Structure 1
Amino acid sequence: MLLRNKDEQEVVSRERKDRRDFEQLSALATRMGLNSRQYAKVVVFSKLPLPNYRSDLDDKRPQREVVLPFGLQRDVDLHLKAYLSHKAMSSGRSLDKPLIRSNSGGIPAADEVPVNPEPFAQNSVALERILRRRSLQIRDKQQEWQESPEGQKMLEFRRSLPAYKERDALLNAISQNQVVVVSGETGCGKTTQLPQYILESEIEAARGASCSIICTQPRRISAMAVSERVAAERGEKLGESVGYKVRLEGMKGRDTRLLFCTTGILLRRLLVDRDLRGVSHVIVDEIHERGMNEDFLLIVLKDLLPRRPELRLILMSATLNAELFSSYYGGAPTIHIPGFTYPVRAHFLENILEMTGYRLTPYNQIDDYGQEKMWKMQKQAQSFKKRKSQLTSAVEDVLEDADFRGCSLRTRESLSCWNPDSIGFNLIEHVLFHIVRKERPGAVLVFMTGWDDINSLKGQLQAHPLLGDPSKVLLLACHGSMPSSEQRLIFEKPEDGVRKIVLATNMAETSITINDVVFVVDCGKAKETSYDALNNTPCLLPSWISKAAARQRRGRAGRVQPGECYHLYPKCVYDTFADYQLPELLRTPLQSLCLQIKSLELGGITEFLSRALQPPELLSVQNAVEYLKIIGALDENENLTVL
């Protein structure tokens, strides 16, 4: 067949063959005037001589061409030129008149041979031509998708999002300023659309091959879910122009121009690339959460900006406290994107008890964690005897002064024995039963504090005759530790007649969007890292959320139609919540952060942390440094010790 086909040069056979089979086939190919060679388990027959090694057939050690960004290639050229210049000067020669061999075989004078001037400039020009040609190809591909029927439908949907109205203003602000702060309400499309606007504008300007956009997300699931959605909106497979990278998992290729990753991934890159060479835009999403990694990253990026004047930094927040971040970056411009949500009716605990007729007692508020976690149940029982031992004094005073005279006697009795330290598994079960039995169709999103609560409540609901019936209810969990394949199920619509119930942590407040949610059940708590003074270690403990977080949870119910939100705490308790969450930098031990500062060689720990958005107390920093010295992680000069 190979001999009959003039256009074909070789045939590759991937069928498994042992040594004797190959020898017979090789002898046959030789008699027919063909070349043959075996590469591992692959046999190739060719009309042309074959090399000893073929990288395209090596599955264990695949090799591929890597195209460096223009800025990085330019730096490499400059370093090489400086090295060659230094080497030539040290040997008494000049790069401007290089020496080559003469016809007589000796070393002639430099003026015997004409010099090819500026070889490095020629290389840079050639590289620019390659990037220009590649950029035009990327632009043609984007235009082809946008003009296709599927692309037109997708563009029509994207234009319906509130973010589209601010597209030109956003791009103008980014082009004219090094730092831009963007705030947007839930559902406005800032997370999926703004990175696309930047990428599309770079491609339209024929800079697609040289741009590199990194968008950080606080959680793995959000980085994966958003990248998958953006790739679909661009009519591509994940890993082409859009990819993601999280710990131990990623999908990106040589053509990836927009990378979604966790904050930790970007910090690890800064360990080896302090200037983020080749990166054109950095987008930090969900900065309102004020995690320690995010605040740490903001300091590092603020120090980086003067060294990289062409780098653009975009900060995105789901709340309206953008002025705080704007002032931190010297009055950076702020743009607000209003979101569209349907009205959501809020029901607080007193309303829920009146509506459902549920009665709270000291015994039905003990959450069942199973036999393996019996100590948790015993701890809850003891808390009833101490009566509100873990409540803040502000909440205690509010409960004592609360006026529930508008409620029925049964509701007032229930509120009098309400235990704020309990999550309320039985109450959640009763509310879900009420929704499934009496309310209109729509998915339900239940906010829990952590995996133990999610897993225990899921087991309790599965034992319920109605809520555990798979033909009527689809029970799903949403947690960062779950496999990616299971996490994707929460975004899919269930079959007709089946109500989807998703048990999630606070990651579902802003990081991910489940479009078909109509009902939200809010326990009012989230796990936060705090300091255990007895053991001198950080620990995760449930604590009250902020008003901003409660609004975010409530807003999740109004994505597709008017929604309902069930807050499992009284309205008077909600009124005592802080407006915004306290930054993690101000409420947790700083030992790990101090070590990270030293590993990145960012200078003195105290001086570095003093440049934070909201610096921690000096005493907290000193205590962390002293602790690291005591355990031998730092020496007396605050240098890292050898492991």
Structure 2
Amino acid sequence: MAQRQGLYFNAYNRGKTLVFSKVPLPDYRADLDDRHGSTQKEIKMSNQTEVRVEDLLSRSKWNTNNSASTSTVSMRQFLPSASSSVVEPAAPIDKEKLSSQLRDLQNSRKTTASARSMQSFREKLPAFSMREEFLKAVAANQVLVISGETGCGKTTQLPQFILEEEINNLRGSDCSIICTQPRRISAVSVAARVAAERGDELGEAVGYQIRLESKRSAQTRLLFCTTGVLLRRLFQEPDLIGVSHLLVDEIHERGMNEDFLIIILRDLLPRRPDLRLVLMSATINAELFSKYFPGFTFPVAELFLEDVLEKTRYRINSERDNFAGSSRRKRFSSVKSDPLSDVFENIDINKEYGNYNITTRQSLEAWSAAELDLSLVESTIEYICRYEAEGAILVFLTGWDEISKLLDKIKGNNFLGSPNRFLVLPLHGSMPTVNQREIFDRPPASMRKIVLATNIAESSITIDDVVYVIDCGKAKETSYDALNKLACLLPSWISKASAHQRRGRAGRVQPGFCYRLYPKIIHDAMPQFQLPEILRTPLQELCLTIKSLQLGAVSSFLAKSLQPPDPLSVKNAIELLKAIGALDDTEELTSLGRHLCTLPLDPNIGKMLLMGSVFQCLDPVLTIAAALAYRNPFVLPIDRKEEADAVKRSFAGDSCSDHIALLKAFVAWKEAKRSGRERTFCWENFLSSMTLKMMDDMRNQFFDLLSDIGFVSKTTGVKVMCPLSFQTCH
């Protein structure tokens, strides 16, 4: 009835409360959930309103019984007119007519010049030649596992094949395809590419949805989203009713969300025999389809550290007076080692690298795996720019610190620092999606593009003009010590699968080159695949999600995963959730726990925000929570550490609190920004401007999340309810 009257509709409190509205409704309303003990008010309708509602119900029932139509076309016909207070019923259009319209639109857009040009490119991809075989396999199997080399067209073409086939066969009205991506930038960039190939506007037939940002409509038939977004939808719709096809990309990464999703989908498929599931990756161990997708890249030559040193003549300064060429273990005895680094430290340089010149061997003797030599990276970039052919350069680094330092080095380089000759772009997961999109644009012919990225550029996204890849061999990875209950984010060696992916980023437009800034002996000793995230990270958020989806005992559910986590890690997560009041003694969700389930945040941060709302101190809590959830905005340069510490202490004052220092620094930065002194202020106070801007954005995101669940009002900015009992507010 709501749809026919042009209203928004949602059911809350397990269907006990139905809400109709002229404005969009949130997915969840804590004030309408009786499990939370919140107060609900019943408002009596006026006689006039009651008569009108009864009339609408009668008309809706009559339409349902007498109309041959069973569906509608576009949500635009459901939206109430802003210029009229009276809602007129929208004329329903049946599925057959909608499917016909979708086919006609698709066919008409194929005839445009841009679409023909895109089609020519698509037909060159290896995936395109296997279109019919793929579609037959989708029709005949509920689950497919697709393995194909980087660049073969898995991510952009396979979802399109399904969409085109469904629309061509007049099944467009029932077609709803979801394709998950592990990262936000992947979902946005792939959606934009697919929409362009179809000749569509982004947000029409093809759209995307990431956390707190989306471009989609009721017309959308192919939605690219992050894995987290799909998990949130499963929370609302456990059976994914209406979804016809689900594609999960980059499953080789084995992130916690991906592993969790696979467990849920395994249990879901028997309930949804009509749902088609396609698992995709470039490096997964799968036989099905792998032989069909050889990849669409030119040859890529690999150079390892020893080759790079030999070619560039870069000299790594040795801390030793004499060059011996024997084991260097004694020199690094004070540095915590790792098995891969040990492989190199234990070899005899003279024996292993006898074919290389003495300068290269001396540099190898001096090289340390403990820390990346950014001067070596700078030298390698400069060598490529001076002596190699044209083409963009993609540099893989471990995090923002290295990206920022290398940016400064490049800006200070007499040759590379020329803004007219070199376009240097950072790429980091915390950057706004608008900024991230700049990396896909080709610079003028007179400029060379240099992208400094983390492993976000390793999979899913493709920067077409990259010819040179510089690989540091490491990525930041969360590791969890279950015995000491400590989690840390540290650079770790990547796997062979990741190294293969990085190499695959080059050679898209011509023969490419991959400069590995680590020895070949380390590459050969790398594990084939990375350790799954579920085995190396804290499990609190995952445990809450399991309880919120009513999937049974946490330990029993996780035991069904592909590689079950350590029981001690599960126990630690449950104990922490009990300690903060999210679970009771029987491991059931408390009132606080149910609210935390609605916040896609670490439970500690989530509780902090909820308590800040309840106790009327939300503004400072938003700032502190943003810093804790993202990163500390204070930077500590090694050569000015004492000055930086003094500045931080001055912000803390008598409180001696890191949190108060964060808060006061943020407030002072906002004031400096308003007066146009932002850059000077950050420089004088050892603060990262980018981190502070990200914190500011996260504050708004956190506030929106609290507003969506009814804890604060967007109009007044104050607490509108306190559904937590005193017992859970400790």
TM-score bracket, shorter-length normalisation: 0.7 to 0.9
Q: Amino acid of the residue matched to residue 545 of structure 1? A: I
Partner of 1:91: none
Partner of 1:241: 205
Partner of 1:396: 342
Distance in 2, matches of 1:276 and 1:261, equals 15
Tell me, yes or no, if the aligned pair for 1:395 and 1:576 is still in contact at 8 Å: no
Q: Amino acid of the residue matched to residue 107 of structure 2? A: Q
Partner of 2:191: 227
The Cα shift of 1:487 comes to 1.3
Over residues 329-362 of structure 1, what are the superposed CA-to-partner deviations in whole Å (9 max), with x where a residue is unaligned?
Answer: xxxx877522121111111111111111111125
Tell me, yes or no, if the aligned pair for 1:188 and 1:337 is still in contact at 8 Å: yes
Aligned pair in 2 of structure 1 residues 214, 525: CA closer, same or farther (>3 Å)? same
Aligned pair in 2 of structure 1 residues 394, 193: CA closer, same or farther (>3 Å)? closer
Partner of 1:96: none
Partner of 1:479: 428
Aligned pair in 2 of structure 1 residues 239, 478: CA closer, same or farther (>3 Å)? same
Partner of 1:173: 137
The alignment status of 1:313 with 2:277, answered yes or no, reads yes
Tell me, yes or no, if the aligned pair for 1:399 and 1:573 is still in contact at 8 Å: no
Distance in 2, matches of 1:390 and 1:355, equals 31
Distance in 2, matches of 1:236 and 1:637, equals 52
Distance in 2, matches of 1:123 and 1:182, equals 44
Distance in 2, matches of 1:580 and 1:590, equals 21
2:265 pairs, out of 301, 304, 307, with 301
Partner of 2:314: 358
Aligned pair in 2 of structure 1 residues 363, 137: CA closer, same or farther (>3 Å)? farther
The Cα shift of 1:554 comes to 1.1
Tell me, yes or no, if the aligned pair for 1:454 and 1:477 is still in contact at 8 Å: yes
Distance in 1, matches of 2:175 and 2:276, equals 11
Aligned pair in 2 of structure 1 residues 433, 158: CA closer, same or farther (>3 Å)? same
The Cα shift of 1:222 comes to 0.7
The alignment status of 1:439 with 2:388, answered yes or no, reads yes
TM-score by length of 1: 0.75
2:226 pairs, out of 255, 262, 281, with 262
The alignment status of 1:197 with 2:141, answered yes or no, reads no
The alignment status of 1:623 with 2:572, answered yes or no, reads yes
Distance in 2, matches of 1:388 and 1:207, equals 66
Q: Please give the secondary structure, in 2, of the residue aligned with 1:520.
A: strand
Aligned pair in 2 of structure 1 residues 522, 346: CA closer, same or farther (>3 Å)? same
Over residues 486-515 of structure 1, what are the superposed CA-to-partner deviations in whole Å (9 max), with x where a residue is unaligned?
Answer: 211111111122111000111111121001
1:337 pairs, out of 293, 298, 323, with 293
Pick the structure with greater CA Rg.
1
The Cα shift of 1:126 comes to 4.0
Distance in 2, matches of 1:405 and 1:266, equals 54
The Cα shift of 1:435 comes to 0.6
Partner of 2:561: 612
Tell me, yes or no, if the aligned pair for 1:183 and 1:318 is still in contact at 8 Å: yes
Distance in 2, matches of 1:174 and 1:533, equals 42
The Cα shift of 1:387 comes to 4.6
Partner of 1:16: none
The alignment status of 1:492 with 2:438, answered yes or no, reads no
The alignment status of 1:637 with 2:583, answered yes or no, reads no
The alignment status of 1:163 with 2:100, answered yes or no, reads no
Over residues 298-323 of structure 1, what are the superposed CA-to-partner deviations in whole Å (9 max), with x where a residue is unaligned?
Answer: 11111111111111111111114126
Q: Amino acid of the residue matched to residue 585 of structure 1? A: I
Q: Amino acid of the residue matched to residue 353 of structure 1? A: L
Aligned pair in 2 of structure 1 residues 239, 397: CA closer, same or farther (>3 Å)? closer
Over residues 584-621 of structure 1, what are the superposed CA-to-partner deviations in whole Å (9 max), with x where a residue is unaligned?
Answer: 11122222211111122111111111111222233332
Q: Please give the secondary structure, in 1, of the residue aligned with 2:214.
A: strand
The alignment status of 1:522 with 2:454, answered yes or no, reads no
Gaps of 5+ in 1: 1-62, 69-75, 77-116, 327-332, 365-382
Over residues 233-288 of structure 1, what are the superposed CA-to-partner deviations in whole Å (9 max), with x where a residue is unaligned?
Answer: 11111111001111111111120111111111111111111111111111111101
Distance in 1, matches of 2:296 and 2:357, equals 37
The alignment status of 1:583 with 2:527, answered yes or no, reads no
Partner of 1:127: 71
The Cα shift of 1:534 comes to 8.8
Distance in 2, matches of 1:559 and 1:387, equals 43
Q: Please give the secondary structure, in 2, of the residue aligned with 1:573.
A: helix
1:143 pairs, out of 107, 122, 141, with 107
Aligned pair in 2 of structure 1 residues 490, 196: CA closer, same or farther (>3 Å)? same
Partner of 2:496: 547
Tell me, yes or no, if the aligned pair for 2:318 and 2:362 is still in contact at 8 Å: no
Partner of 1:186: 150
Partner of 1:37: none
The Cα shift of 1:149 comes to 3.4
Aligned pair in 2 of structure 1 residues 560, 388: CA closer, same or farther (>3 Å)? farther
Over residues 86-112 of structure 1, what are the superposed CA-to-partner deviations in whole Å (9 max), with x where a residue is unaligned?
Answer: xxxxxxxxxxxxxxxxxxxxxxxxxxx
Q: Amino acid of the residue matched to residue 344 of structure 1? A: V
The share of aligned pairs that are identical, in percent, is 55
C-alpha RMSD of the superposition = 2.6
Tell me, yes or no, if the aligned pair for 1:388 and 1:421 is still in contact at 8 Å: no
Distance in 1, matches of 2:95 and 2:404, equals 51
The alignment status of 1:468 with 2:432, answered yes or no, reads no
Aligned pair in 2 of structure 1 residues 422, 439: CA closer, same or farther (>3 Å)? same
1:557 pairs, out of 481, 488, 506, with 506
Aligned pair in 2 of structure 1 residues 194, 121: CA closer, same or farther (>3 Å)? farther
Tell me, yes or no, if the aligned pair for 1:399 and 1:572 is still in contact at 8 Å: no
Q: Please give the secondary structure, in 2, of the residue aligned with 1:557.
A: coil
Over residues 519-577 of structure 1, what are the superposed CA-to-partner deviations in whole Å (9 max), with x where a residue is unaligned?
Answer: 11000001111125697342211100011111111121111111111100011111110
Distance in 2, matches of 1:641 and 1:123, equals 47
Aligned pair in 2 of structure 1 residues 123, 541: CA closer, same or farther (>3 Å)? farther
Tell me, yes or no, if the aligned pair for 2:143 and 2:276 is still in contact at 8 Å: yes
Aligned pair in 2 of structure 1 residues 300, 360: CA closer, same or farther (>3 Å)? same
Tell me, yes or no, if the aligned pair for 1:461 and 1:467 is still in contact at 8 Å: yes
Aligned pair in 2 of structure 1 residues 634, 336: CA closer, same or farther (>3 Å)? farther
Tell me, yes or no, if the aligned pair for 1:181 and 1:335 is still in contact at 8 Å: no
Distance in 2, matches of 1:400 and 1:421, equals 15
